A and B are shown apart, each in its own frame.
Chain A
């Protein structure tokens, strides 16, 4: 049963256009990004062709944490679009800026090389397996975005982060179309 469920997961779809529509519906003014291969074609490239939200390309992910914080104080909404390796690299900035200062830093994180349909904790990739436990240790809410059925989580997650002034992470588990 587990194998067939995984096979079904492998063939499920995740529409990049649906995710972008949810991002726009969430009132995101800026997408701040370091490229991530999971979200490169389905999210970042089409977002780069639009002017709203405005794309800000950064050199390193922790820069993006600072930029999103500054924007948050001004009432502008931002989404940090990165890879899980960049999230792990930015843990201290996330700790200080997002968690300890209780700021609405919203992160959409591609899980590099996670197997489609496989829960992150069951991935063969060590770096993928540790992401959710790390977020739990830091007290950061997160949501798995694995199929189209998960796209509906995005707007409530972002609205909730701004309403409650806390960070949130959305984990993109496969390449959006």
Chain B
């Protein structure tokens, strides 16, 4: 099992200024601290929709890598997205799920089926081109660069521990200034 912020720091070393990253909820607050950037797409409007926004971005901007940092509870709210993404098969979409078995932003309650679920299995059977599972940080650090060089859609299950309390100022991800900055950055290149 890994710490989420360690995984995100490792990932950030391979994310370029051209990439669009869509982190959700608790992951978003970690990510914007580790890698603040106007091409962080933070406003998803409803739980579970990050990968759907990501698919739209992937279709509209095939020149950019789209990196979705989903949560396990979020993905459970929109499991059909795995099927849709796999059918559309955008080569520039990278779909990570940070799996800690809890609705972390909503009180830390367990997700249903936490001991039985196989998110990588879901993605594989839905038809993602490549599926990875990581439980060891050193291996993740060694392989993440190569993973992001693979043609998508790629699914990556990160097995993480639940971190401690986190300060969450939701205006940092839902505020209109965030979307304005993203829109301007995307239009600029």
Residues of A within 8 A of B60 (CB): 70-71, 73-76
Does A68 lie at the interface of the complex (its beta carbon under 8 Å from any beta carbon of B)? yes
Measured in the bound complex, the distance between the Cα atoms of B56 and A78 in whole Å is 10
Measured in the bound complex, the distance between the Cα atoms of B60 and A30 in whole Å is 10
Give the one of B49, B83, B186 with max A CB within 10 A. B49
Does B59 lie at the interface of the complex (its beta carbon under 8 Å from any beta carbon of A)? yes
Task: Choose, from A42-50, A91-99, A150-158, the stretch at the interface.
Answer: A91-99
> What is the CB-to-nearest-CB distance from B155 to chain A, in angstroms, rounded to a whole number?
16
Does B45 lie at the interface of the complex (its beta carbon under 8 Å from any beta carbon of A)? yes
Interface residues on B, range: 20 to 34
The answer to whether A62 and B46 have CB atoms under 8 Å apart is yes
Interfacial residues of chain A within 45-78, with CB under 8 A of chain B in the complex: 56-60, 62-76, 78
Does B55 lie at the interface of the complex (its beta carbon under 8 Å from any beta carbon of A)? yes
Mark interface residues in B165-183 (1 if CB within 8 Å of A CB, else 0): 0000000000000010011
The answer to whether B80 and A60 have CB atoms under 8 Å apart is yes
The answer to whether B52 and A70 have CB atoms under 8 Å apart is yes
Does B81 lie at the interface of the complex (its beta carbon under 8 Å from any beta carbon of A)? yes
The answer to whether A101 and B43 have CB atoms under 8 Å apart is yes
The answer to whether B46 and A96 have CB atoms under 8 Å apart is yes
The answer to whether B45 and A101 have CB atoms under 8 Å apart is yes
Residues of B within 8 A of A93 (CB): 45-46, 49
Residues of A within 8 A of B186 (CB): 73-74
Q: Which residue of A lies closest to B80 (CB)?
A: A59
The answer to whether B179 and A57 have CB atoms under 8 Å apart is no
Measured in the bound complex, the distance between the Cα atoms of B50 and A76 in whole Å is 18
Does A148 lie at the interface of the complex (its beta carbon under 8 Å from any beta carbon of B)? no
**Beyond A59-B83, A63-B80, A63-B81, is A30–B59 a contact (Cβ under 8 Å)?**
yes
Measured in the bound complex, the distance between the Cα atoms of B80 and A69 in whole Å is 18
**Beyond A56-B84, A57-B87, A101-B43, is A66–B49 a contact (Cβ under 8 Å)?**
yes
Measured in the bound complex, the distance between the Cα atoms of B78 and A65 in whole Å is 12
Does B35 lie at the interface of the complex (its beta carbon under 8 Å from any beta carbon of A)? no
The answer to whether A76 and B182 have CB atoms under 8 Å apart is no
Residues of B within 8 A of A68 (CB): 56
The answer to whether A97 and B80 have CB atoms under 8 Å apart is no
Measured in the bound complex, the distance between the Cα atoms of B51 and A100 in whole Å is 19
Does B129 lie at the interface of the complex (its beta carbon under 8 Å from any beta carbon of A)? no
The answer to whether B52 and A65 have CB atoms under 8 Å apart is yes
Q: A74-B57, A97-B46 are in contact. List 14 more A-B contacts (CB 8 A).
A: A56-B88, A57-B87, A59-B80, A63-B84, A65-B46, A66-B55, A69-B56, A70-B57, A71-B59, A71-B60, A76-B60, A93-B49, A95-B45, A96-B45
Q: Which 4 A-B pairs have the closest CB atoms?
A: A70-B56, A74-B60, A59-B80, A66-B52
